[in-house]
Structure 1
Amino acid sequence: MTAATTRPPLAIIILAAGQGTRMKSSLHKVLHPIAGRPMVLHLLAAAQALAPERQVVVVGAGREQLEAALAPHGVGTALQAEQLGTGHAVAQARGALDGFSGDVLILYGDVPLVRAETMRAMLDRLNADDAPATVVLGFRPADPGAYGRIIADEAGVIGKMVEYKDASAEERAVTLCNSGLMAVRSEDLFALLERVGNDNAAGEYYLPDIVLLAAADGRKSAVIETGAAEVAGVNSRIELAQVEAAWQAQRRIAVMADGVTLIAPETVFFSHDTQLGRDVVVEPHVVFGPGVVVEDNVTIHSFSHIEGATIHTRAEIGPYARLRPGADIGVKAKVGNFVEIKKASLGEGAKANHLSYIGDAIVGANANIGAGTITCNYDGFFKYRTDIGAGAFIGSNSALVAPVTIGAGAIVGAGSVVTRDVGADALALVRPEQSEKTGWAKRFRDAMTAKKAGK
């Protein structure tokens, strides 16, 4: 079979049984997020592009956390009760792949940034005309360190694979390293694993040994290479931060190439699913959480935090704005300084420019929300909605106690606490009439000064 023809069915095995002690965390290592998504879900998302028939994650310590995280995605698990090496870990997936016939792609849950294109390239090589027994993904790090080495010829045919602990000085001088990722046919994989021994420095069953066993049968294996950044592993908080930084750097380049202006790219942080239209301008120190969609020609000013929000074309956000899940900002709407919006929509041209909280609300087109206005949406037990009609004007420092409706074109006077509906085009004033007591302030100061002096 050639790569140009239809590929065999595909199964994905992800190894995630390690304890991750260097993370020093109660959260399972592969559930730590990169760009707002757990590492293992990054891999599964990339693998979806290849339409796998089966997916299984090999679990061990912390299995309950992983099983709970994977269940919504329809991904099965296999238990590696003892940590006896990568070959032993893969063997535990045999039951989950019972009856499966096709290609198997072996990935690692703590190597989260492997692209679908790279996975596809491995499978293409496995199904090339020369039909290698296995395909290994190699890379050349700046510091090969303690990585296992791959000894291969110029055509990528592997002569030997050796773990660093077992390598000679000459073999350690080789710069081509083993990422651990591998593609193998199902009919070969488990048959070869049954023959893997543990006569090595660590006393473990190494997955790469199947390459040597295939060679002993007269079958060659091949290596393809990728960049070191793509197969960077995460074993500590430091490495987690490094992989996050690498992901963010790539994403910034991608959004700018797609027509987004980043004034200070290194200060902007994206989520895995951030969607930005063309001619969007993002000023320094903006953070995008999960679930954000930004349409064309939007401006997002500095120090804004946006999550779970949709921002429509030509809207303007910030500086220092916070959009929380459910915020929907209409065409040409404005959300200004220190304004927080949660589960609320602003209609076309609506404005909330200063120091306001708008939650569980619908704000009509061209309504104007004055500085310091809040929607009082929660009584300690339930949430309630505020409806503000088109063209309404809410005076500064007003409190709208939900559930309440402000009619279209209505005006609410500054400082009002509104507890009842206000009709369309009406004026609502909820404050005592101003009165003045001539000279009272001076008499008060004189009395207090005398009292303080002990008179």
Structure 2
Amino acid sequence: MERTCLAIILAAGDSTRMKSSKSKVLHAVANRPMIAHVVDAVAKSDTSSVALVVGRDADDVAKAAQVGSVKIETYLQKERLGTGHAVLAARDAIARGYDDIIVTYGDVPLQTEGPLKAARQGLADGSDVVVIGFHTDKPTGYGRLLVKDGELIAIREEREATDAERAVNWCNSGLMAINGRKALDLLSRIGNANAKGEYYLTDLVEIARSVGGRVTAVDAPEIEMTGCNNRAELAMIERLWQERRRDEMMISGVTMIAPETVFLSYDTAIAQDALIEPNVVFGPGATIDSGAIIHAFSHIEGAHVSAGAIVGPFARLRPGADLAKGSKVGNFCEVKNGTIGEGAKVNHLTYIGDAKVGAGANIGAGTITCNYDGVNKHETLIGANTFIGSSSSLVAPVSIGDNAYVAAGSVITADVPADALALGRARQELKPGRASVLRARALAIKAAKKANA
């Protein structure tokens, strides 16, 4: 029979060290709130229910935690009296009777499902409490995990540790799993006879052992257990997340010429054999298909780039941009809510917004789809194999038929039928010798200003 599991996520801290107008768990890593990363990891550990313990910005934190189909209930911790007190804020959820209880933190966004599953397996194998630890070369400041004969006998805080215990480099992450059938009894035994008068979750180790329970520990990568308390640590976590995700992508077949300059979002999807040049930024919702090339200094968000398509350099794809197979959006071009058909080319200095560009079309340099009238957006339709001359303005709503030509410098305000040539510009006039007169006049004005200076 599958074991039931409740994850308790502690996210009620005041975030004072973050020096922010919002809870620290709302700060983003890879364009996603920290708390959402944690819920995602919990969901992947086969956890069916989440009890979210909140305090500051409770409604916003609860909203940010909504990930997928995970069932989340919020519990308000009105007083901050320690981690043990925080867990018991979810007493009603615990009382329903789960096989496993996981306790984790909303400010540890690099955690993955692996250690959580390992802790749950420890419970399945007979432990009553399983602590998740990590090995580090810099254990100073962390509680040490003291293990004897395969069992965890204590978590020793550094200020209380002997020299020998301080030499231990297996440290407490704060995350743990608890036998759900015994959880309320064990948690209710935590006291506050300490200098701060708080209830510490770590006391469960000795409490469980004192009543004959088995306590063990499992290991997690140090990086995954990194917590966030201030902006410097937030930047470090962002760096670690980016490095981990880039490595995963490159191992899966994505080429990154200078990976340290590429920035991904939590949901960026890049297929095998895509090429990403230096200094590319992916906002949320970007999908890059196999064989696509993203040239340097491009920004892509909410966009899809099909196989063999080329983007940039210095291009921007905004939400709704969809590039078909073999199409190109070149340097200093922007596409927003626009589809670029198969083989179509938008090569230079162009804005395509709220538009559909047909297959094989060629959009000349400096072309603009004038999609906004000051109040509403309007659509431009550009047919297959059309040629739009440089510096043309297509004033929406407007349609350019298949195989049509638009002369350079035109302002198009009416529909152009298929196979037609459209010219929308003033007729050129020539005035021989007039340039010399204008130049002489300008020079005289300049000389007069200089004389009067």
- TM bucket, shorter chain: over 0.9
Alignment match of 1:54 (pick from 49, 55, 80): 49
Matched residue SS, 1:296: coil
CA distance in 1 between partners of 2:67 and 2:300 (Å): 25
Where does structure 2 lack aligned partners over 5 or more consecutive residues? none
Question: Given residue 77 of structure 1, which amino acid in structure 2 is its aligned partner?
Answer: T
TM-fit CA distance, 1:98 = 4.0
Greater CA drift, 439-448 or 239-248: 439-448
Taking structure 1 as the reference length, what is the TM-score of the superposition? 0.95
In structure 1, the partner of 2:193 is 199
Alignment of 1:150-189 (within 5 A): 150-153=145-148, 155=150, 157-189=151-183
Alpha-carbon contact 1:78-1:96 (below 8 Å) kept: no
TM-fit CA distance, 1:53 = 2.6
Alignment match of 2:325 (pick from 325, 331, 339): 331
Alignment match of 2:89 (pick from 87, 92, 99): 92
Q: Does 1:428 align with 2:417?
A: no
TM-fit CA distance, 1:168 = 4.2
In structure 1, the partner of 2:78 is 81
Alignment match of 2:38 (pick from 32, 36, 43): 43
Alpha-carbon contact 2:110-2:226 (below 8 Å) kept: yes
Matched residue SS, 1:11: strand
In structure 1, the partner of 2:335 is 341
Taking structure 2 as the reference length, what is the TM-score of the superposition? 0.95
Listed one character per residue, the Cα deviations across residues 221-252 of structure 1 (whole Å, up to 9, x for unaligned) are: 00011121110011111111111111111111
Alignment match of 1:116 (pick from 105, 113, 118): 113
TM-fit CA distance, 1:192 = 1.1
1:72–1:403 CA distance, 2 compared to 1 (3 A): farther
In structure 1, the partner of 2:123 is 126
Greater CA drift, 32-41 or 360-369: 32-41
Listed one character per residue, the Cα deviations across residues 89-143 of structure 1 (whole Å, up to 9, x for unaligned) are: 0000112344233211111001111111221111111101xx1110000112221
In structure 2, the partner of 1:3 is none
Question: Given residue 260 of structure 2, which amino acid in structure 1 is its aligned partner?
Answer: E
Identity of aligned residues (%): 49
In structure 2, the partner of 1:237 is 231
CA distance in 2 between partners of 1:24 and 1:244 (Å): 18
In structure 1, the partner of 2:439 is 445
Aligned length in residues: 447
Listed one character per residue, the Cα deviations across residues 266-305 of structure 1 (whole Å, up to 9, x for unaligned) are: 1111111111111111111111111111111111110111
Alignment match of 1:363 (pick from 346, 357, 363): 357
Alignment match of 1:248 (pick from 232, 242, 250): 242
Question: Given residue 174 of structure 2, which amino acid in structure 1 is its aligned partner?
Answer: G
CA distance in 1 between partners of 2:219 and 2:415 (Å): 67
Matched residue SS, 1:75: strand
CA distance in 2 between partners of 1:403 and 1:153 (Å): 76
In structure 2, the partner of 1:149 is 144
Greater CA drift, 441-450 or 8-17: 441-450
Alignment match of 1:103 (pick from 95, 100, 106): 100
Matched residue SS, 2:153: strand
1:191–1:148 CA distance, 2 compared to 1 (3 A): same
Alignment of 1:239-388 (within 5 A): 239-388=233-382
TM-fit CA distance, 1:20 = 1.1
